[in-house]
Structure formats: structure tokens, C-alpha cells
Amino acid sequence: MTSPPQRHMIRLDRRPQLFSMRVAALIFQSGHLLVQRGAGDDYWALPGGRAEIGESSEQTIVREIGEELDRTCSVERLLWSAENFFAYDGYSAHELGFYYLVSLGHPLPFHENHIVHRVMDGIEVEFRWLPSRTSGLIRNDLRPRFIAERIEALPLRHEHLIVREGRSDATENPKETL
């Protein structure tokens, strides 16, 4: 009897530097975007998680949605890939991110003002719907910020971005690819 292969997240911790590969989903319902945060955090992010060695970014988002939301999903298309540079918990972080437009096989409950789902994923993670408008997402501190800035005009084709958040020399260089 063979044991299942070990799973390894793509994360290199070389304090004070950190590199990771994260895949996230944009899921819309009733003019709102699904977001998540660790209970007690003061910012929101898109549902998703770290990729594992040996899986594609598309496989990662399908796995993460299944684990965190207990739902099947359909990946519609890749919106953005981004090289994100930011400060986090004492780290100078470098994150390779993939952001997919995703539809759930069975919708989550919807409420405009309350947490609609919770899951334990090492820590308690809570999910809620925020209006999919730039001003509201910025006010609720959605990270990375470029998502809020682009939410009202999703790209028709994949864009690659280089994003330096929280620095005065911030640059974003969208590159359209086929």
C-alpha cells in the first residue's frame, strides 16, 4: 500500500524575505464580490490560497474553492497574473499571483452586511460579500489594491502586472497576452 504523495505549498521563507505563489478567485453574486480574511485581520483578500508543487494555477483554485467553500467551481478565464511586492508581517514579500474569474457550482448564501461562511484553515477564515465597486473595496481594504482599482472594467484578455504596494515608486505595467 502506497501512501499519497506529500503536498508542499510554494512558499520560500528566508526572513526578512518571503516568496509565495498564490491563486485567487473573483466570484460575483448580485453585484457583489466574495472576499475572505483571517478572523481578526483588518483587510480582505480574494478567496484562494497557495499553489502546491506539481499543480497548475487552475488546479490550485479548483482545489482551494473545494477546501474552503465546499463547492465545485468552473474557471471562466484568467484575468491577471501579477508580481506583487509588498511588506507583510515583518517581511519584504514577493508574491506571484494568478487571479481567475470563477463561477460556483452551487452559490453561497448571500447577505450584504454579514459573514456568510467560516472555515478553519490553520486559522479561522471568514467570508462575506462586498459591493463590487472600486470605492467600497478600497474602503474595506481589499488587497492587493489593484483589484479594487480594476474591478469595474475587468480585462477581456489576460493582463500581466508588476505591482509594488505601499511604496512611493509604485509601478504597474500591464502587459496584454493572448
Q: pLDDT tens digits for 61-101?
A: 999 999 999 999 999 999 999 999 999 889 999 999 999 99
Alpha-carbon distance values, 33 to 19, 21, 28, 59, 101 (Å) = 27, 22, 5, 21, 11
Helices (H), 73-161: 134-139, 145-150
Residue-level pLDDT at 177: 47
Phi, psi for residue 176 in degrees, rounded to 5: -80, 135
pLDDT in tens, 9-48: 999 999 999 999 999 999 999 999 999 999 989 999 999 9
> In the 8-state DSSP scheme, what is residue 139?
H
In the chain, what are the domains? 11-164 (3.90.79.10)
Say how far apart CA 46 and CA 144 lie, in whole Å. 9
Say yes or no to pLDDT of 3 above 90: no
Residue-level pLDDT at 174: 55
For the stretch 104-130, what's the b/e string if a residue is b when 16 or more beta carbons lie within 10 angstroms of its beta carbon? beeebeeeeeeeebeeeeeeebbbbbb
